[in-house]
Structure formats: structure tokens, C-alpha cells
């Protein structure tokens, strides 16, 4: 557990972000290793089928992820205010919610999977393997919710290192099981999905054992576990906008996938492979944002508003350095990186084209994402939802269709729509940060500190 309310803002954010960064790199390796082994051993069609599954998975779980974000913010604010009994009740509430929601979402996913793929105009040759992968993945959803919920709770109290250890274990287990199930046992695309489910189950069990033996505040006792409706209401107030935000992103991803699907298997496979690289490239940005959110949550809870602007400045500078380095790597070695997934020249070229267009604008994405992280940490989670609505649904998706179809730019029009959407989102985020009332959304009423006014729940 770490106290972010005193000391160097930049050091706190950096030290908190680095374990999350490493952990999320390993978490992305789940998807990347699946894609590499599937692409290399099962071919471009299987690679395209796996890639087509991820927007649907994200759509199904997006709302629940958002509520989990809300719980994490609530925990960080209660922890900053030293209200440890409420930290425990918030943790219990999160687990009960995730268990019930995971079961419901599993059923929804299994019932609707084939229909969704057909709705997205996935080529017929890809529907059967995509449904196989998705259904197995969805069968393990409760386990995945549980593990990611545990990681969010630990981060809410300032512990980003422990989830890293479990992720490292899980990732190596996933790699080993991928090789066993696909290369040795010839289970095909189903093997990739089973490897992910089993490895995350191991990580979740390890995380629960850790909580019960090392974190007395968060110890899980099924006989005494309680669901606190007031804390759940607070979590929903913060988390529901975040969940709607995630759902907008997920459905937007499906809409983009639907447009990409009309260009055939090579472009779908390229979008899948390049998307894995893109997801890995922006992880540092997303983790500086997440670290800033935890930092802001504790300082809002403690009433130390003056530290928040300094935290945003530090997170943005660190993100900028990373963006420049990552963009250079992609432009210089992008084609070589694509060959990890496939040997097809068409797939490699389409993927490299995507990467070079979007990577130049990572710094814009960083500005938007860091401000959104600050707003979530402060409890003003509805604003990032509106920013996403603008960036994704008002700009990116319509523009992707217009550029690719109406103007006839093909898949390149889809690629250009992505950074243009980021630009509009970043402008909106900066305007709200400068002129909005995000300081007045805390879930606690902190004591007056250093002459600052107390923040009351709005």
C-alpha cells in the first residue's frame, strides 16, 4: 500500500505506472502469443478469425470493466481518506458484483456469438473458427473478471507490483499451453482459447491466496462477505459512465471491424496483427493514465488539489518521451515486426501502412487519455464518456466509412479516421480540464488541508 498524498508527484506516478506497464505488457502477450502461434501454425484465416473475436469480447465485457474502474476509484479515495473499513466493504461489493455479472455475460456471449459475427459481415470461411474461439473464451469469463477485479482492487490501495507477479506467471503459463495445445496436440484455434482461460484461472487462484494471507484489509471470507448498496451506488455513479465509455469503445471497434471486414481476409488479418502491435505500443500511455487516476483519487480524497496539476504535467511528459521512442521503432522496423505474425506480403504491407499512420499521432492520444484518467480519478467519469462519444462515434466511425467508401480510399481511409478522431477528443479533453468543474465530484468529504476547500459530492 502506498500513500500518494505526499512526496514527489512524478516519482509516485512513475513508480506506480512501471509495474502496471510491465504487467499489461505481459497481459497483452496473451493476445499477441495467440496471434503469433495461430498465424504461424494455423494460417492467415485463423489469424483473422481470432482478430475478429476481440472487438466482440470487448463489447460483451466493457460495461463490467467500467464498473470495476468505478470500484477502483472509490477504493483509492477511501484509502486516501484513511477509511479502511469502507475499503474492505468496497472490495467485497466488487467481488459479488463481478461474480454475478460474469455469469450473466457468459450466457449472453454464448447465445449471441454466431449471430454477431454474421451481423458484422465476417466472411463465411471465418465464422466457424471465430465462434469456436469466442465461445471457449467466454466460458472462462467469471475467472477473468475475478482476476482483473483483484488487480484493480490492489491498484486502488496503491499496490501495482503484486498484480504484476501474477500476470508474469499467467503469461508464461499461457505461452507454454499455447505450444502444447496447438503445436503438440493439434487442437487448432480452440487450443489458443483454452490456453488463455486455464492460465488466467491459475493467476486468479494465486491472487486470492495472496489476499487471504498477506492483505488483512482485503481478506476474503465467504461467511462474512457483504454487499454494500451505498458503495455500489457510488461505484456505479463513477463506473457506469466509465462502463458506457468502454461499451462505446467496444461497439465502435465492432463498427470499425465491420468496415474492415468488407475488404477481405488479407486486410482483416493485417488489421488483427497490426492491432496487436498497436495495443502493445499504447500500453505505456494507458498505464501512465491509470497511475494518474490512482494518484488523483488519493489526493482528491485527502483534499490536496494543488498536487493534481503537477501530476498531470508529469504523466504527460513521461508519455511524450515514450510516444517518440515507440513511433520511431514502428516506422523503422514496422514491417519486420509484422513478419512475426505472418509471411504474407499483402498482410505485412497493409499492417505496416496502418501502423505508420496511427503511430505518428500517439502523443495526441496520450494527451486525451491522461486527462481522461485525471477526470476518472476525480470522480468525473461522465466527461470521458462524452469525449469518447465525440472522438469515436461522431468522428472516427462515420469518417472511416466516408473516407474508405465514399471517397474511395479503401482501407487507408479507415486507418486515417483513427488519429483524426483522437485529435478531436484531445481538444475536447483539454477544454474541459481548463474550464470544467471536475474538482467537485469526490465520493468522500475530506478534511480541509493546506487551506483548500473541502470537496463535496455533487
Does the pLDDT of residue 102 top 70, yes or no?
A: yes
Q: Which residues contact 77 (CB under 8 A, 6 or more apart)?
A: 297, 298, 300, 301, 379, 442, 443, 444
pLDDT at 421: 95
Does the pLDDT of residue 398 top 80, yes or no?
A: yes
Q: Please, are residues 361 and 281 in contact by the beta-carbon 8 Å criterion?
A: no
What is the pTM assigned to this prediction? Answer: 0.68
Does the pLDDT of residue 334 top 90, yes or no?
A: yes
Q: Say which residue, 236 or 322, is predicted with more confidence.
A: 322
Going by pLDDT thresholds of 50, 70 and 90, the confidence category of residue 5 is low
pLDDT at 441: 56
| Mean pLDDT, residues 296-320 | 85
> What CA–CA distance (Å, rounded) separates 107 from 111?
6
Chain mean pLDDT for the chain: 83
Q: Name the percent of the chain lying above pLDDT 90.
A: 26
> What CA–CA distance (Å, rounded) separates 146 from 169?
16
> What CA–CA distance (Å, rounded) separates 177 from 197?
10
> What CA–CA distance (Å, rounded) separates 251 from 58?
8
Going by pLDDT thresholds of 50, 70 and 90, the confidence category of residue 365 is very high
Going by pLDDT thresholds of 50, 70 and 90, the confidence category of residue 63 is low
Going by pLDDT thresholds of 50, 70 and 90, the confidence category of residue 446 is very low
Q: Say which residue, 132 or 290, is predicted with more confidence.
A: 132
Does the pLDDT of residue 3 top 70, yes or no?
A: no
> What CA–CA distance (Å, rounded) separates 89 from 410?
52
pLDDT at 81: 74
Does the pLDDT of residue 209 top 60, yes or no?
A: yes
Does the pLDDT of residue 326 top 90, yes or no?
A: yes
Does the pLDDT of residue 452 top 90, yes or no?
A: no
pLDDT at 108: 86
Amino acid at each position: 500500500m502506498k500513500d500518494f498524498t505526499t512526496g514527489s508527484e512524478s516519482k509516485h506516478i512513475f513508480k506506480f505506472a512501471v509495474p502496471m506497464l510491465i504487467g499489461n505488457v505481459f497481459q497483452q502477450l496473451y493476445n499477441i502469443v495467440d496471434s503469433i502461434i495461430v498465424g504461424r501454425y494455423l494460417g492467415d484465416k485463423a489469424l483473422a478469425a481470432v482478430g475478429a473475436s476481440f472487438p466482440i469480447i470487448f463489447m460483451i465485457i466493457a460495461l463490467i470493466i467500467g464498473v470495476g474502474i468505478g470500484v477502483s476509484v472509490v477504493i483509492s479515495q477511501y484509502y486516501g481518506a484513511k477509511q479502511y473499513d469502507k475499503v474492505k466493504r468496497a472490495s467485497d461489493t466488487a467481488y459479488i458484483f463481478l461474480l454475478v455479472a460474469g455469469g450473466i455475460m457468459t450466457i449472453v456471449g454464448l447465445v449471441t456469438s454466431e449471430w454477431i459475427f454474421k451481423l458484422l459481415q465476417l466472411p463465411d470461411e471465418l465464422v466457424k473458427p471465430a465462434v469456436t474461439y469466442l465461445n471457449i473464451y467466454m466460458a472462462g469469463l467469471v475467472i477473468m473478471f475475478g482476476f482483473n477485479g483483484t488487480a484493480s482492487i490492489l491498484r486502488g490501495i496503491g499496490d501495482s507490483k503484486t498484480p504484476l507477479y501474477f500476470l508474469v506467471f499467467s503469461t508464461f503459463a499461457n505461452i507454454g499451453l499455447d505450444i502444447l495445445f496447438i503445436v503438440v496436440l493439434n487442437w487448432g484455434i480452440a487450443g489458443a482459447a483454452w490456453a488463455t482461460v486455464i492460465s488466467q484461472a491459475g493467476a486468479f487462484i494465486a491472487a486470492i491466496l495472496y489476499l487471504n494471507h498477506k492483505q488483512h484489509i482485503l481478506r476474503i471470507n465467504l461467511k462474512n462477505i457483504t454487499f454494500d448498496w451505498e458503495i455500489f451506488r457510488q461505484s456505479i455513479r463513477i463506473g457506469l459512465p466509465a462502463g458506457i465509455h468502454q461499451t462505446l469503445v467496444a461497439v465502435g471497434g465492432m463498427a470499425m471491424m465491420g468496415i474492415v471486414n468488407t475488404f477481405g481476409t488479407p486486410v482483416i488479418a493485417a488489421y488483427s496483427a497490426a492491432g496487436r502491435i498497436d495495443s502493445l505500443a499504447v500500453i505505456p500511455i494507458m498505464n501512465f493514465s491509470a497511475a494518474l487516476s490512482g494518484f488523483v483519487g488519493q489526493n482528491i480524497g485527502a483534499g490536496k488539489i494543488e498536487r493534481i496539476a503537477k501530476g498531470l504535467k508529469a504523466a504527460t511528459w513521461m508519455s511524450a518521451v515514450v510516444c517518440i521512442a515507440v513511433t520511431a521503432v514502428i516506422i523503422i522496423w514496422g514491417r519486420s515486426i509484422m513478419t512475426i505474425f505472418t509471411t504474407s506480403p499483402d498482410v505485412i504491407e497493409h499492417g505496416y501502412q496502418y501502423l505508420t499512420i496511427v503511430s505518428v499521432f500517439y502523443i495526441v492520444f496520450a494527451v486525451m487519455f491522461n486527462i481522461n484518467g485525471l477526470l476518472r480519478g476525480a470522480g468525473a467519469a461522465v466527461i470521458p464518456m462524452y469525449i469518447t462519444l465525440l472522438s469515436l462515434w461522431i468522428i472516427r466511425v462515420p469518417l472511416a466509412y466516408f473516407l474508405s467508401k465514399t471517397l474511395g480510399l479503401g482501407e487507408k481511409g479507415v486507418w486515417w479516421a483513427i488519429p483524426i478522431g483522437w485529435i478531436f477528443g484531445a481538444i475536447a479533453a483539454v477544454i474541459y480540464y481548463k474550464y470544467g468543474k471536475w474538482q467537485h465530484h469526490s465520493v468522500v468529504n475530506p478534511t480541509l488541508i493546506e487551506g483548500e476547500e473541502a470537496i463535496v459530492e455533487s
